[in-house]
Structures are given as structure tokens and as C-alpha cells.
Structure 1
């Protein structure tokens, strides 16, 4: 597990693949293994709570992505850029991952952490996401780490009380501000989206004048088609988002 986090911390170099060009056969096997893992291979051993651990209602997976701003990104290249950190099934397993991870406030560049239910990829096009949407909030620099921790703890603790509607959460680190969002399955269910909004305000202790926006993934995809250089599929930066004050 530590090796995975070491690789994550060193990701800024962007030259991990180049350093191993000479070992073509081993690299090919290694890439295939990683690809199988990222696609949720059915051969992978199921993650279960350990003895005496406190099980979560759902298994969750941490993901990490980083990209160069302004560079057009296809759906395929975006999917290849998402790195799966690991899956956990209990409170104790969550803390073993989280305690080794870099805090969002310490990340640089265009970086994202994603925490989604196991089996759901952090992409608009995933079957669990395609009919859904997300609540999105822009944050001043310095707030992302605390807000992210409060958000994911509320999600893991089932504080949103909307059944199976929650898909996952994202924190997006940008140069001048940071963005958090929570994704749900059914954008057309206004009662559910309203409950998620109200819970989000409470768990993040947002000021009353904070402006939040709900955006469907269908609209995000339309924006991408109309402005292909604006953002890659599944990315969470949007020029229409509002700042939390």
C-alpha cells in the first residue's frame, strides 16, 4: 500500500513510464495487470471487512487524476489517466488509506481526488452516473482539505439519507481555487437532490449566502461537445460554477 502512495506523491514528474522503457515485456505485463485492476476485473479478490472491524454500508474506491490544463482530452485518454488508489470496506481500512494520502490543500496543478462506490468509475458516462448529476461548490484556497474530509466522512457515514442515490464525491484542485462536488444517480429526482443540497450545507457548515449549483451530467456532456477544449469527459471544472464565500 505504501508503494501506491509513494507513486501518487511522485506523480508530478510524469516520467514513470519513460524510466522503464527498456523492460518492454515486463512493462506490457505490468500495464495489462494495472488495466485489469482499473477496470474492476472480476478475478480480483473481493474486499471485505477484517475481523473486529466496523463495516461500511458500501465498499468505496479512492481514485486520483492529474492533467495538463488546456490540453484537449478524449474520453479514452481521460479514463487512462485515472489512477485507482485502492478499495476499502470498513472504517479501519478507510483510515489506513486516508492517513497516508496527501491532503487536497497540498496538491499542485490540476489534480483531483475521487471517492466513489466500488464498481462506479468517476466518469459521466458510467452507467451509474449517466442519468445523474452533481452539486458543485467553488472554494477559496485553504478550505479544500477540511471540506473534503467533512464531505467524505458524511458520505461514508450515510448522513445524506437518500438510499442508494449517492455515487461519489470529488475534490478538484485548481490554481486559483478548489472545487468540491457530490454525485448522485437520478438528476430528475428533485426531492432527493434538495435533500443532498441541504445535507451538504450542514456537513460543510457553509455560510447562508453560499451559492451552490446542481448540474446534470447530460448538460456537462453537451458543454463538452459544444466546447471540446473546455474540459475532458469526467472532469469537474466548469466555468459556470460559483464561489463559496
Structure 2
């Protein structure tokens, strides 16, 4: 199970009802803007101390890469003239402890408003076709029924940041798109023409998530030209 790759003695997943802004009456606190971190901005000191005990030193477990969460608010999107102009980074993390502190204080896809897009990309890579690292890439996509993508989103994150893929260097990041009819999770890569690497990534991704439906890979270049008419170049 990919979740084991990012478990440490000090960073085990915790009950999200204790960390997601729950009031004393048991109802979720809805004062947060969708995608915001419970309790406001979290700085590095807060993240480090979240897993510490009084009088003990905090042991950090560094990841191979730093990663950034991005959020595109559906209400903000409607006010923007160009795609991507409402997208903004939330927080960059570089250790196992920082990841769990963030993850346990951020809404799951099932709790996000319809139209929201939530990203996790390697630091310094923007989740846009125009980014130089993404420009020649593409994406694998899985589809889910409404509010059924939460665990697969978590396992996708763990597989990525835990370097579980044989061709992990080719991975840019992942996005979950929340829509009225359901959710989609896409895994972005940087070298779409390398068929063997893309197929390997797609097969491993399905194995990690125990996903049995067929998935397809679309080149970003085709998506830009054909919009919704872009066809899968690879399928598994």
C-alpha cells in the first residue's frame, strides 16, 4: 500500500474530523474559503511543531522533491478573463511531516465546491500547459462518481511525493477536478512522446489505486488545439 511509504512514527494520518475546522456541535466550520487551510495561514514553525511533543526534538523526514499545492477557486474563476489567472499557490512542503500537517487541514475533494480544481505539483512547476516543463507533456486521467475520489486522491499524492513511480522524474504533478457530475484526477507528465515511460506511469498508477477502468493519455499539445475533441494517444 502506497500510504505506508509516507508513514513515520511522528507523521501517521490522523482523524480528519479533529483537524478540519470542526465546531463543538459536530458540524464542520464553513467559514474557510474553499481550499484554505484550517486555522489560517500555516508557517514552517507551525508545521514543525504540529508533530512534536513538549521537551522533544522534532525529527523531519525530507522528501526527494519539494511540492506545492495550488487551488483554483470556482467563484474566482468566473471573474477572470483568462484561464489560469485565478489559480494561486497555497503552500510548498518538503518533508513528510509538513505534508501530513497540510493534508489533515485541507478539505478533501468531496468537500470542495463544484468547479474547483486542486493541484499538487513539484515546486517551481506551474500547473499550466504554458509552463516550460509541462509544455511537451500530457496527462493520464481517471474518472470517479460524485464524492468518490477522496482516497484515490490521497494515494495519488502519496505515490508521487513518495517516489513510488519507476519514471518519477517524468511526473510534473496531479490535479483533481471537482464537477457537478463527478471528479477527475489527472497525472501530468513532461515528456509525452516517450511512450514507454508514459505507459509505465499509467500502469503503476492503476496498480497503486487498484483502479480497474481503462484510462487514456492525452498530449497537452492536442488538448490546446482541439480542446474537448482531443483523443487519447495511449490507453491502458
**Aligned pair in 2 of structure 1 residues 73, 135: CA closer, same or farther (>3 Å)?**
farther
> Alpha-carbon deviations, 1:91-123, whole Å to 9, x = none?
001111111000101112101110000000010
- For the pair 1:162 / 2:202, whether they are aligned, the reply is no
Q: Whose helix fraction is larger, Structure 1's or Structure 2's?
A: 1
* Contact 1:56/1:156, CA 8 A, preserved across alignment: yes
Paired residues for 1:78-93 under 5 Å: 78-93=83-98
Structure 1 match to 2:33: 10
- For the pair 1:221 / 2:228, whether they are aligned, the reply is no
| d(CA) in 1 for partners of 2:30, 2:124 | 23
**Aligned pair in 2 of structure 1 residues 7, 132: CA closer, same or farther (>3 Å)?**
farther
| d(CA) in 2 for partners of 1:163, 1:122 | 17
Structure 1 match to 2:3: none
Structure 2 match to 1:67: 74
**Aligned pair in 2 of structure 1 residues 95, 131: CA closer, same or farther (>3 Å)?**
same
**Aligned pair in 2 of structure 1 residues 239, 185: CA closer, same or farther (>3 Å)?**
closer
**Aligned pair in 2 of structure 1 residues 59, 7: CA closer, same or farther (>3 Å)?**
farther
* Contact 1:150/1:203, CA 8 A, preserved across alignment: yes
* Contact 1:133/1:183, CA 8 A, preserved across alignment: yes
TM-score by length of 1: 0.68
Query: Can you give the 5+ residue segments of structure 1 that lack an aligned partner in the other structure?
Result: 13-44, 225-229, 231-237
Report which stretch shifted further, 195-204 or 135-144. Answer: 135-144
| d(CA) in 2 for partners of 1:192, 1:10 | 38
Report which stretch shifted further, 60-69 or 177-186. Answer: 60-69
* Contact 1:9/1:102, CA 8 A, preserved across alignment: no
* Contact 2:218/2:231, CA 8 A, preserved across alignment: no
**Aligned pair in 2 of structure 1 residues 69, 94: CA closer, same or farther (>3 Å)?**
closer
**Aligned pair in 2 of structure 1 residues 70, 62: CA closer, same or farther (>3 Å)?**
closer
* Contact 1:69/1:110, CA 8 A, preserved across alignment: no
Structure 2 match to 1:211: 214
| d(CA) in 1 for partners of 2:185, 2:160 | 13
* Contact 2:135/2:220, CA 8 A, preserved across alignment: yes
Paired residues for 1:136-155 under 5 Å: 136-155=141-160
> Alpha-carbon deviations, 1:53-100, whole Å to 9, x = none?
0000000000111236996965xx333311211000100011111110
Structure 2 match to 1:109: 114
CA-based RMSD of the aligned residues comes to: 3.0
Structure 1 match to 2:23: none
**Aligned pair in 2 of structure 1 residues 83, 134: CA closer, same or farther (>3 Å)?**
same
SS at match of 1:79: coil
